[in-house]
Amino acid sequence: MYRNQVPMDDDGYGEIKLDLLGSWCLRRDGVVVHVATRQQRLIAALAIKGPRLRNYLVGLLWPEYPDSKALESLRVSVHLTSRQVQGLIVNEGRLLSLNDQVDVDLNRIRAQARALGQAGFGAGAGSLLDELRDAQLLPGWYEDWVVFEQSHLQQDRLRIFTDIAARSLALGDCGMAREAAEAAVGIEPLYENAVGLLIRAELQRGNPAAALRAYERYREQLQEDMGLMPAEPVRELLAAVLERQQNVVKERLVPAGDSWLGGQPALNHS
């Protein structure tokens, strides 16, 4: 805890929660606090980036401004935020940060993912999957630094989903593996590892038709977007399924030597 920081509840600030996923929302003791866009950007930057020097923040938030004007914009933003939401920002001169008692949804979920990852996910995987499935960071914000953080979160989600799928398969939880792999494919349809996990999950669930559909979607998009065919490891996952399909087709064919067919095979309708 920084030297000027005290627990919010002890100083009468109440419980402050900040949501950055889905849409911006700041609440104090359950009541929504409305702040101007300029203050929202500052609060979001401190929540995502952590404690930062003033010079860093002015370059991040007001890159188009001269230094003097950017510093003044930062000073005003800090002043207005501190008046409106006491205890939210910790001001240590050149260094600014959020009070570490602020509950930020993005940081909470990332901490949960780290803890579960170290423990091998297990029982908490389902709730984490639900929280991350549609998690979008500050949608509608297009500043360069926000777009970078949005991409970073997408990569985190992709990694977590594939980890959950792989570990769930190893534990024999094919349903969870399928859900997690589908979520990963939803983020990156051409991610070979995620597609392979989805195919394996469907096969272990005894659903080869769904596995084949997943493969065909991947194959068609890979061909369309990149002009490539699936790699051998992915094709090998379905080798047995494709072989069984070919055998079924062969069994439905009347032997080619039958004279009444002129030596040509035909479908057996019996």
Please name each of the domains of the chain with its CATH number.
Answer: 9-101 (1.10.10.10), 106-227 (1.25.40.10), 238-270 (no CATH)
- Provide the whole-model pTM: 0.81
Alpha carbons 203 and 265: distance in angstroms, whole number: 32
Residue stretches of the chain with pLDDT short of 50: 1-8, 256-270
Check: CB of residue 71 under 8 Å from CB of residue 121: no
Q: Which residues lie below 8 Å from residue 176, measured CB to CB, with a gap of 6+?
A: 125, 126, 129, 164, 165, 168
pLDDT, residue 61, reads 97
Tokens found for residue 221: 């998009």
Residue type, 90: V
CA angle 173, 175, 178 (to 5 degrees): 110
pLDDT, residue 258, reads 47
